[in-house]
């Protein structure tokens, strides 16, 4: 069955070609069906492969399917080959499953858009690239997917390229979605620079870029704490911070919300942004050999989780709040990876894909109903108008807030527990506070959007979304509820099926990690209770404040004006980058390099030497007066001088 993997990758690409080349002539319905079924069939095949893998004994579950030799030069030989194993099939299921639902949803959401067919073509291309990313059996093919999803992200953020876009800070009023798209691509490229150099180091060290070879050799011969391995993992992580929007490269993701909402759900929440997490998990062996890098991953993760959550507290754009929430949740995942809880990180990738996709799609339904209004201050009371959206959104909010037994509880708790037992208390405390903040800003969002007074003008007539949009919401809601059951920890009597499933993938890494669960069961229960408590508290205060005491919110805002301003402006990171990096480079290139050096100095010398020649010539020309007697005179003088020299000598 696994040999069908090439069809999995190929189908979305065919969908892309069909819609991309002929789409203009298709009806919306046809385009939508082509696009959705390309992903739907893919998902079905993935499910079949998955079930077959389940039947096989553990050691026979991993396969490599080689399609053709991609690049061969010198000692480099890269195959277009796919690795079907426990990790990649799980990611494939998430990408195609959630992807399929979002495709279906988009049929309703993009209805009436001129670029309907183009939208589906790009979405299919994205799925194709994402599948290459997760299924690749080597770094270079993964890099193809890695950059490819970046391209799709670029194309889709700027899908409505002439639309004005509020960046909430710099360039106010004049930015369009194409600015956001370009920013996303360029920031990602900075990360990709790290990825590239890491690949060179890996190739230098191991003479190959194929995962299996690299990992087995690394595991066998590299000692823990190797310097080169530190640089490799750190540079790979730089790539991850770009793709997965972590400090310092997170700045593109909030702006990426300029794209159509299904794009935000699929690319900027459920799948693409988790690519960094996937990559680090895939390279778990390498990280296990570089404890310093692990530490950095964990610190960056927890710091991002916390700071993004604080920024999410005060935003008013429904999608921006979700964007900061995504950054924050990704931070959790990296925290998990950083403390060696690779399976927990991937588990959170999965549950997050369910509830965050659901949140975004719900937000999309709201934006649709409110005629492109995204400011939650101008919403309220939508609960009765859009019951299905409200209910599913509420479930997702509970899931992300970590309320048991919803999926988010299990995955987040697993990470926090591992952060405590294998990391440090500090990680746990910050993670725990962040969990409270998460619950708070999510229910601030729910309260302001769906509950309380209606703050919109009544010519809007919001109404529930069509079935094609609500059915995916309901499916995702179910998944958000039950998705966590595959990872019920032993402490609660579960088998942690997902950890077991992924165990062979992380076996090598775990060999090198000193992960003893020294803390006892009591501690685990205690921490669990603590995190449920903080989640409930966050929900309670949010509802209390925003539903019952709106004037208190006002008062708090004014009395903590400076903090509010700092958070509102996202710690001025964009402005700082602009002033310290972007402007100096652009200005310097223009004034110094081009006009100063190129035109001034180099061409100055070139044209100057031409002028000098002309000047010398014009001076020399004076010798040629044309009067014969003068020539004769010079002639005689010359002879006299020569004779004089000869005689005197």
Partner 1 sequence: MTNLLTYIIFLPLVGGLLIFFYNREKVTAIKVFGIAISVLTFLLSLLLYFGFDTANPGIQFQHKVLWISSLNISYNVGIDGLSLLLVMLTTFLTPIALLSSWNSIEKRVKEYTIMMLFLEVGMLGVFSALDMFLFYIFWEAMLIPMYFIIGVWGGGNRIYAAIKFFIYTMFGSLLMLVAIIWLGYYASTQPNGQFTTDLMQLYNIGPTIPLTIQSWMFLAFTLSFAIKVPLFPFHTWLPDAHVEAPTAGSVILAGVLLKMGTYGLLRFSIPLFPQATFEFMPYMATLAVVGIIYGALVSMVQTDIKKLVAYSSVSHLGFVVLGIFALTEEGIQGAIIQMVNHGLSTGALFLIVGMIYERRHTREIVEFGGLAKVMPLFSTFFMIVSLSSIGLPGLNGFVGEFLILLGAFRSPFMSQWFTIFAATGVIFAAVYLLWVYQRVIFGKITNPLNQNLLDLSKREIAVLVPVLLFIVWIGVYPNTFLKQSASTTKQIVRSFEPQSTGKRYTRLAGQKQSNQISPLPEVSASEKLFELR
**Residue nearer to partner 1 on the CB measure, 37 or 216:** 216
Residue spans of alpha helices (H) in 207-258: 211-221, 227-243, 252-256
Specify the stretch interacting with partner 1 by CB under 8 A; choose among 142-150, 324-332, 421-429, 493-501: 142-150
* Least separation in angstroms between CB 372 and partner 1: 17
- Whether the CB-CB separation of 294 and 338 falls below 8 Å is answered with yes
576-595 positions binding partner 1, by CB under 8 A: 585-586, 588-590, 593-594
Specify the stretch interacting with partner 1 by CB under 8 A; choose among 82-90, 153-161, 276-284, 363-371: 153-161
- Candidates 38, 49, 222, 333; binder of partner 1 (CB under 8 A) is 222
Instruction: Give the span between the Cα atoms of 85 and 138, in whole angstroms.
Output: 13
170 interacts with partner 1 by CB under 8 A: no
Residue 71 phi/psi, 5° resolution? -130, 125
Closest by alpha carbon to 388, among 111, 112, 29, 108? 108
Specify the stretch interacting with partner 1 by CB under 8 A; choose among 48-56, 188-196, 326-334, 403-411: 188-196
Which x/- pattern, by CB under 8 A, does the window 26-65 give for partner 1? Answer: ----------------------------------------
Under DSSP, the state recorded for 176 is: B
* Least separation in angstroms between CB 542 and partner 1: 39
Under DSSP, the state recorded for 578 is: I
Instruction: Give the span between the Cα atoms of 137 and 143, in whole angstroms.
Output: 11
67 interacts with partner 1 by CB under 8 A: no
Helix/strand/coil for 64: strand
| H, E, C per residue of 101-121 | HHHHHHHHHCCCCCCHHHHHH
* Least separation in angstroms between CB 596 and partner 1: 11
72 interacts with partner 1 by CB under 8 A: yes
387 interacts with partner 1 by CB under 8 A: no
User: What tokens were used for 175?
Assistant: 């930015």
* Least separation in angstroms between CB 141 and partner 1: 8
- In order, the DSSP letters of 546-574 are III-HHHHHHHHHHTHHHHHHHHTGGGHH
521 interacts with partner 1 by CB under 8 A: no
75 interacts with partner 1 by CB under 8 A: yes
- Candidates 63, 111, 189, 378; binder of partner 1 (CB under 8 A) is 189
196 interacts with partner 1 by CB under 8 A: yes
Closest by alpha carbon to 187, among 122, 114, 250? 250
Instruction: Give the span between the Cα atoms of 402 and 480, in whole angstroms.
Output: 11
- Torsional sign, CA 160, 166, 172, 173: positive
* Least separation in angstroms between CB 227 and partner 1: 7
143 interacts with partner 1 by CB under 8 A: yes
- In order, the DSSP letters of 308-358 are HHHHHTT--BHHHHHHHHHHHHHHHHHHHHHTT-HHHHHHHHHHHHHHHHH
- Candidates 46, 144, 343, 370; binder of partner 1 (CB under 8 A) is 144
148 interacts with partner 1 by CB under 8 A: yes
- Report which secondary-structure segment, H or E, holds 306: helix 291-312
- Candidates 112, 223, 493, 626; binder of partner 1 (CB under 8 A) is 223
- Whether the CB-CB separation of 156 and 267 falls below 8 Å is answered with yes
592-631 positions binding partner 1, by CB under 8 A: 593-594, 598, 602-603, 606, 610
- Whether the CB-CB separation of 122 and 106 falls below 8 Å is answered with no
**# binding residues, partner 1 (CB under 8 A):** 57
- Whether the CB-CB separation of 101 and 268 falls below 8 Å is answered with no
User: What tokens were used for 648?
Assistant: 């005197």
* Least separation in angstroms between CB 462 and partner 1: 29
* Least separation in angstroms between CB 81 and partner 1: 14
- Candidates 56, 58, 76, 640; binder of partner 1 (CB under 8 A) is 76
Residues forming the site for partner 1 (CB under 8 A): 68-76, 140, 143-144, 147-148, 151, 154, 158, 161-162, 176, 178-179, 181-182, 185-186, 189-190, 192-193, 196-197, 199-201, 203-205, 207, 221-223, 226-228, 585-586, 588-590, 593-594, 598, 602-603, 606, 610
């Amino acid at each position: 069955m696994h040999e069908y993997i090439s069809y999995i990758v190929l189908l979305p690409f065919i969908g892309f070609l069909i819609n991309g080349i002929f789409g203009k002539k298709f009806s919306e319905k046809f385009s939508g069906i082509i696009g959705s079924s390309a992903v739907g069939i893919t998902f079905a095949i993935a499910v079949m492969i998955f079930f077959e893998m389940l039947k096989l004994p553990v050691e026979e579950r991993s396969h490599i399917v080689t399609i053709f030799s991609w690049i061969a030069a010198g000692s480099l030989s890269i195959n277009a080959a796919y690795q079907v194993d426990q990790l990649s099939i799980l990611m494939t299921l998430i990408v195609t499953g959630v992807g399929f639902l979002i495709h279906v949803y988009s049929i309703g959401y993009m209805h009436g858009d001129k670029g309907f067919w183009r939208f589906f073509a790009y979405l299919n291309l994205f799925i194709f690239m994402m599948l290459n990313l997760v299924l690749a059996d080597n770094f270079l093919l993964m890099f193809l997917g890695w950059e490819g999803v970046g391209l799709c992200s670029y194309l889709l953020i700027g899908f409505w390229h002439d639309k004005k876009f509020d960046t909430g800070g710099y360039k106010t009023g004049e930015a369009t979605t194409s600015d956001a798209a370009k920013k996303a691509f360029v920031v990602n490229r900075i990360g990709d620079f790290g990825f590239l150099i890491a690949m060179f180091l890996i190739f230098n060290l191991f003479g190959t870029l194929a995962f299996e070879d690299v990992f087995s050799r690394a595991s066998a011969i590299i000692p823990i704490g190797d310097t080169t391995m530190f640089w490799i993992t750190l540079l790979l992580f730089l790539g991850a911070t770009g793709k997965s929007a972590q400090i310092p490269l997170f700045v593109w993701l909030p702006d990426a919300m300029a794209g159509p909402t299904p794009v935000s759900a699929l690319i900027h929440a459920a799948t693409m942004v988790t690519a960094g997490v996937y990559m680090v998990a895939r390279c778990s062996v390498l990280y296990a050999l570089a404890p310093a890098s692990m530490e950095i991953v964990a610190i960056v993760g927890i710091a991002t989780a916390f700071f993004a959550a604080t920024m999410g507290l005060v935003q008013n754009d429904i999608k921006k709040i979700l964007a900061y929430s995504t950054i924050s949740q990704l931070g959790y995942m990296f925290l998990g990876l950083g403390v060696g809880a690779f399976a927990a990180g991937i588990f959170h990738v999965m549950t997050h894909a369910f509830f965050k996709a659901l949140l975004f799609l719900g937000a999309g339904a709201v934006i649709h109903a409110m005629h492109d209004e995204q400011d939650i201050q101008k919403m309220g009371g939508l609960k009765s108008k859009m019951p299905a959206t409200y209910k599913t959104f509420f479930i997702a909010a509970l899931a992300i807030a970590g309320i048991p037994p919803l999926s988010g509880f299990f995955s987040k708790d697993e990470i926090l527990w591992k952060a405590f037992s294998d990391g440090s208390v500090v990680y746990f405390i910050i993670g725990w506070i962040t969990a409270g903040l998460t619950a708070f800003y999510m229910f601030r969002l729910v309260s302001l959007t769906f509950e309380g007074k209606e703050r919109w003008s009544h010519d809007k007539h919001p109404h529930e979304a069509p079935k094609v949009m609500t059915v995916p919401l309901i499916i995702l809601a179910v998944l958000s509820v039950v998705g966590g059951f595959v990872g019920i920890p032993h402490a609660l009597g579960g088998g942690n099926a997902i950890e077991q499933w992924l165990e062979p993938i992380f076996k090598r890494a775990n060999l090198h990690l000193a992960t003893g669960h020294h803390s006892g069961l009591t501690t685990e229960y205690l921490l669990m209770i603590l995190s449920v408590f903080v989640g409930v508290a966050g929900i309670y205060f949010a509802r209390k404040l925003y539903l019952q005491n709106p004037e208190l919110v006002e008062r708090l805002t004014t009395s903590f004006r400076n903090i509010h301003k700092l958070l509102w402006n996202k710690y001025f990171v964009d402005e700082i980058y602009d002033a310290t990096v972007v402007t100096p480079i652009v200005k310097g290139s223009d004034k110094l390099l081009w006009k100063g050096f190129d035109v001034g100095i180099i061409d100055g010398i070139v044209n100057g030497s031409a002028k000098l020649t002309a000047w010398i010539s014009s001076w020399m020309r004076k010798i040629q007066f044309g009067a014969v007697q003068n020539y004769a005179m010079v002639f005689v003088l010359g002879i006299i001088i020569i004779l004089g020299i000869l005689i005197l000598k």
